[in-house]
Amino acid sequence: MQADRRLERLAALRSRLAPAGVDAFLVTHLPNIRYLTGFSGTAGMLLVEPARAIFITDFRYEIQASLEVHRDVAVEIERANIWVRLRQVLKRSGPQSLGYEQDHLVVRDASRLGEAAPGRLEPRSELVEDLRLIKAPEEVALIREAAELAQDALASIVPGIHPGQSERAVAANLEAALRHRGSEWHPFPTIVASGPRAALPHARTSDRVLEAGDFLLVDFGAEVGGYCADLSRTFLIGARATGRQREVYGLVQAAQLRARTAIRAGQTGREADALARDLIAQGGHGADFGHSLGHGLGLEVHEAPRLSPTSDLPIPGGVVVTIEPGIYLPGWGGVRLEDDVHLAPDGPILLSDGRTELVELV
């Protein structure tokens, strides 16, 4: 049975209120609300006070909130305007200082909050995200399950990929396979980029038709229990790889393998990034690897920590990160290989399959 850590998480957040200089804290970022309460809907706010927590949502989620939100969290349903209900709740409790998530509250809602709060407003950053950083065993298990689902979905469509097919058709088949296997949703828009378009690290899937000899870059994910997997694979379509294609692919593969096996907790983001970047630079393609090595993964597909050449922060143990080096050559194509890794005390544990050998679909 999966552990229920919601009260533990709420207690951890409460312990941060006084050090943060606030009497109460308003959570509006939906992934943070799900982490603290279990609610998976798309509208609501959570007020956390030293002695209680109150979740406010609208009538659309009355039944869902009763099923998902922990019983020790009070639920208030507002049939008109949840900001009006928040004003009523705050008037009853009267916190002198109310913290809010400055990274997530839009200007309009900040104005509404100013009208609702009787006391001083205090912008705060990452009070909940810092708690989410280190993953509990059941969180790691859900990310692994999402990765396995994603891999199975991709494997089911690869035999049908061929020249003459459009990128959009490949993406549609993959997304359908993900949903059929139980993915709650797509954590981000699926990237399918072929030929010269594979040189666009974050390409939008297009109607371009695959041609023999193309690299086909596929970046996709799955979501299970709210937790995300994020994977990338690159294929060769309708032909055997040329010498240059093998060289570029092999360099990315070697860099990815080195990074995913040598990364350790305690390294800085810069040091982790260098595991792959140095090898790619030695191969003459340093300028062609323009993004960071990877990022954290969890309830959101992009979380802390950052495995970046600009990050000098140490990587905590217990996080889950992506390892995704790439080489991108404008007008020619590109290669990216991405797996998901848990940084356990004894070293990195691969959560995805790590199958990065060059596949030629001929």
Nearest to 322 by CA among 211, 220, 199: 220
Q: Is the pLDDT confidence value at 3 over 90?
A: no
Instruction: With cut-offs at 50, 70 and 90, classify the pLDDT of residue 2.
Output: confident
Instruction: For residues 67-76, give the mean pLDDT.
Output: 96
Q: What mean pLDDT do residues 195-199 have?
A: 98
Tell me the fold of 137-361.
Creatine Amidinohydrolase (3.90.230)
Q: What string of DSSP letters covers 233-302?
A: EEEEESSPPPHHHHHHHHHHHHHHHHHHHH--TTSBHHHHHHHHHHHHHHTT-GGG--S-SEEE-SSSSS
Output the pLDDT for position 274: 98
Judged on CB neighbours under 10 Å (0-12, 13-18, 19+), 316 is middle
pLDDT digits (tens, 9 = 90+) for 135-173: 999 999 999 999 999 999 999 999 999 999 999 999 999
Give the model confidence (pLDDT) of 88-113 as tens digits: 999 998 899 999 999 999 999 999 99
Q: Please give the mean pLDDT across all residues of the chain.
A: 97
Question: Residue 329: which pLDDT band, with cuts at 50, 70 and 90?
Answer: very high
Is the confidence at residue 177, as pLDDT, over 70?
yes
For domain 6-131, the CATH superfamily is Creatinase/prolidase N-terminal domain (3.40.350.10)
In tens, the pLDDT along 285-313 reads 999 999 999 999 999 999 999 999 999 99
The span from the CA of 37 to the CA of 40, in Å, is: 9
Portion of the chain with pLDDT greater than 90, in percent = 97
Closest CA to 146 of 189, 176, 187: 187
Among the listed residues 247, 178, 237, 179, the one whose alpha carbon sits nearest the alpha carbon of residue 208: 237
pLDDT, average across residues 254-259: 98
- Is the torsion defined by CA of 87, 44, 32, 50 positive or negative? positive
Q: Is the pLDDT of residue 118 over 80?
A: yes
Whether the full predicted model's pTM is greater than 0.85, yes or no, is yes
In the prediction, which pLDDT does 1 show?
Answer: 62
Class of residue 346 by CB neighbours under 10 A (exposed 0-12, middle 13-18, buried 19+): exposed
- Whether the bond between 305 and the residue before it is cis, its omega within 30 degrees of 0, is yes
Query: How many angstroms separate the CA atoms of 280 and 324, rounded?
Result: 12
Question: Domain coordinates of the chain in residue numbers?
Answer: 6-131, 137-361
pLDDT at residue 211 above 70? yes
Mean pLDDT, range 249-273, rounded to an integer: 98
Contacts (Cβ under 8 Å, ≥6 apart) of 118: 90, 91, 94, 95
